Amino acid sequence: MTTIAKKEEGGKRAVQKGRNEKSAQRIWGYAFVAPALIILCVFMLLPILQIFYYSLTNWNGGLKSDFIGLKNYIDIFKNPDFFTVLKNNLVILLLGVPVWTIFPLLIAMIIYEEIKGYKFFKTVYFFPSVLSIVIVGTLFKTFFGYVGPVNMLLRNMGLDHLAIEWLAEGRTSLPIIVLAVNWAGFGSAVLIYLAAMSAIDPGIHEAAQLDGANWLQKSLYVTLPGIKNVVQFTIVLNIIHAFSQMFSYVLVMTNGGPGYESTVLEYFIYLKGFRAGDMGYASALSVILFVLVCVINLLQSLIGRKED
């Protein structure tokens, strides 16, 4: 065999060896991912698919499960409490998402300037994130209770007319819940923003400063565009939060009351499924929640893509 032919043969063997190695790596990868994937499918995907089925039945959580078609959905849309609950979720969405996005962003921007004591503030702002939701909820419930510190302060300041029963009405309890969520979660969001900001080339900031840009101009025209993707991601997360992370706060702070004034969809699902034992109805509510979150996120990503 000539040298060239030998080299060609060697080259082909090398390519084949490379392909075999890649194939082996792929098989190894699948093999080691398989257990986790199976667990995910069995304990997450399968129950999710089952919910779609059970939403079409009158399942009571036990042995009784007869197919009833769309009756659960019809009953849900006939129930005025459902629309009250949906309205509450929308209030939290419209109030909460801007607060949970912008507030930590402002804090992150200030800390990014490395003001005196910024390391201390970074730690302190993260502290509420490590507290359990039950503790946060109980704290805010106590603070805003009729005889709590907030009302005591207002009374001492001569503002008795403002010392109201904050958690007794939906129009005040929902903003308090948004506040509680913000207090508990803004520390993590600050860290995420700071991490994104630190990835911006410092040279751009220096150039802007040399051009005479002040802090506000640098923030708006350099920092913000630089972390746009992270802000969008945070908005998506907060939208999901508004629909799927409110349960514990509502349970601890208001129990969804009075009536349904502060009940959110998650809590409504809990009431129907676990208090009333109507798992079929609760499953239908869960499907509606799932569709709602998907639609909102889809809209949000479409708007984001359009802007790009």
Binding residues for other proteins, per CB under 8 A? 24, 27-28, 31-32, 34-35, 38-39, 61-63, 145-147, 165, 167-168, 254-261, 271, 274-278
**Tell me, what amino acid is at 47?**
P
Positive or negative: CA dihedral 98, 305, 190, 135: positive
Q: Which CB sits closer to other proteins, 218 or 272? A: 272
Q: Two tokens at 181?
A: 């969520």
Q: Which CB sits closer to other proteins, 234 or 262? A: 262
**Tell me, what amino acid is at 64?**
K
Tell me the C-alpha distance between 60 and 283, whole Å: 11
Residue 273 beta carbon to other proteins: minimum distance, rounded to whole angstroms:
9
Residue 233 beta carbon to other proteins: minimum distance, rounded to whole angstroms:
32
Residue 305 beta carbon to other proteins: minimum distance, rounded to whole angstroms:
39
Matching residue, tokens 């995420």 = 192
Q: Which CB sits closer to other proteins, 50 or 255? A: 255
Q: Which CB sits closer to other proteins, 43 or 127? A: 43
Residue 272 beta carbon to other proteins: minimum distance, rounded to whole angstroms:
8
SS3 at position 140: helix
Residue 256 beta carbon to other proteins: minimum distance, rounded to whole angstroms:
7
Q: Which CB sits closer to other proteins, 55 or 254? A: 254
Residue 90 beta carbon to other proteins: minimum distance, rounded to whole angstroms:
20
Question: Which are the contacts of 234, defined by CB distance < 8 A and separation ≥ 6?
Answer: 100, 101, 104, 189, 192, 193
SS3 at position 67: strand
Tell me the C-alpha distance between 118 and 112, whole Å: 8
Q: Which CB sits closer to other proteins, 176 or 235? A: 176
Produce one character per residue of 33-65: b if its CB has 16 or more CB atoms within 10 Å, e if not. Answer: eeeeeeeeeeeeeeeeeebeebbbbbbeeeeeb
